[in-house]
Amino acid sequence: MKSAFRNVCFSLTRSLNPKPKSFHRNLPSLPPLLFHRNSPFCSFSLSPASISPMTDGDSRPPPNSSSSSSASSPSLEQQFQGFRAQLEESGSLREKIRSVVLEIESATRLLHSSLLLVHQSRPVPEVLEKAKAHIGVLKELYGKLAAVLRESPEQYYRYHGDWRSETQTVVSLLAFMQWLENESLLMHSEAAEKLGLNSSEFGLDIEDYLVGICFMSNEMPRHVVNQVTAGDYDCPRKVMKFMTDLHAAFRMLNLRNDFLRKKFDGMKYDLRRVEEVYYDVKIRGLAASGDSAGDQGRVEGEE
């Protein structure tokens, strides 16, 4: 029944319109590749300007990037050529400095080993005579180092770190020798003169001198103990008075929280150890009678 009805409808349609036109022929022609932005079949849209042919008047050649890069290449290359020359010169100078510093370090070890004999109850004049023989060697080496630095004037603090620690150690040993010989503090000018560092271009840095003095204070407690063991019961009083004055002088400085400040803080503990030895000697009745000057040696309260 349904198939017969379908056939009747199809025959009627063919009789009314025997040549039906295709539906797509009635659609207006669209430019190729032009889709609407919201079309589900394409995620991009092309504007008419993008598909319009390029005319002769609008044709422009792409910018020539090689011309600008070729103009900047010589200056860029010239700059880095200068950098390379400066770095090679600095490296060569640093190698020369390091070779001299190694000699200074070797001479410093010999000087230190000579001074260590004083802790073995050796006679102080004998120890100092042997140690002073190394001071002339150090002076020559510092003169050699100054000659190397003349190749690069006004660059002292650029390379100063290469010999800073060695100089601080040398100053501490010279200061300890000064105490053993004269029981006084080695002045900055005296240390610079012994090392031949009097010129303005190559002198003794103040911080290196102060750090060296702090290093020297580390040796004093050991020296006091050894001297008391050897029977010198007056040594703790002398050392305590000396370190008390030195500690008070350091407190006049406005030190930052750096390496020098840390070494200065350690000086308080060195002084305290010397005080303990002195009080122990005095309580036992071994100190010189009638001498109470050492009782006034006190470390001021911590900040």
We report the CATH number of the domain holding residue 185 as 1.20.58.190
**Hey, CA dihedral for 273, 278, 282, 286, is it positive or negative?**
positive
The model carries a pTM of 0.70
Burial annotation 284-303 (CB, 10 A radius, 16+ → b, else e): eeebeeeeeebeebebeeee
- Asked if 101 and 197 sit in the same domain, the reply is yes
Domain's final residue, options 153, 177, 204: 204
Res. 44: pLDDT tops 70: no
Provide the pLDDT for residue 70.
55
With a CB cutoff of 8 Å and minimum separation 6, the contacts of 44 are: 35
CA distance 69 to 4: 84
CA distance 115 to 58: 91
Res. 14: pLDDT tops 80: no
Provide the pLDDT for residue 9.
53
Domain range spanning residue 291?
209-303
Provide the pLDDT for residue 40.
47
Q: Is residue 57 part of a domain?
A: no
- Asked if 213 and 198 sit in the same domain, the reply is no
Q: Is residue 63 part of a domain?
A: no
CA distance 2 to 14: 19
Neighbour-count burial of 83, counting CB atoms closer than 10 A to its CB (0-12 exposed, 13-18 middle, 19+ buried)? exposed
DSSP single-letter state for residue 191: H
CATH number, residue 221: 1.20.58.200
Domain's final residue, options 177, 204, 231: 204
pLDDT tens digits, 213-260: 999 999 999 999 999 998 899 999 999 999 999 999 999 998 887 899
- Asked if 248 and 303 sit in the same domain, the reply is yes
CA distance 175 to 251: 19
Provide the pLDDT for residue 34.
43
- Asked if 193 and 267 sit in the same domain, the reply is no
Helix (H, G, I), strand (E, B) or coil at 26: helix
CA distance 142 to 61: 68
Q: Is residue 279 part of a domain?
A: yes
Q: Is residue 116 part of a domain?
A: yes
Between the CA atoms of 145, 147, 151 and 155, what dihedral angle is there, to the nearest 10 degrees? 50
Are 253 and 222 spatial neighbours (Cβ–Cβ below 8 Å)?
no
Higher pLDDT, 280 or 29: 280
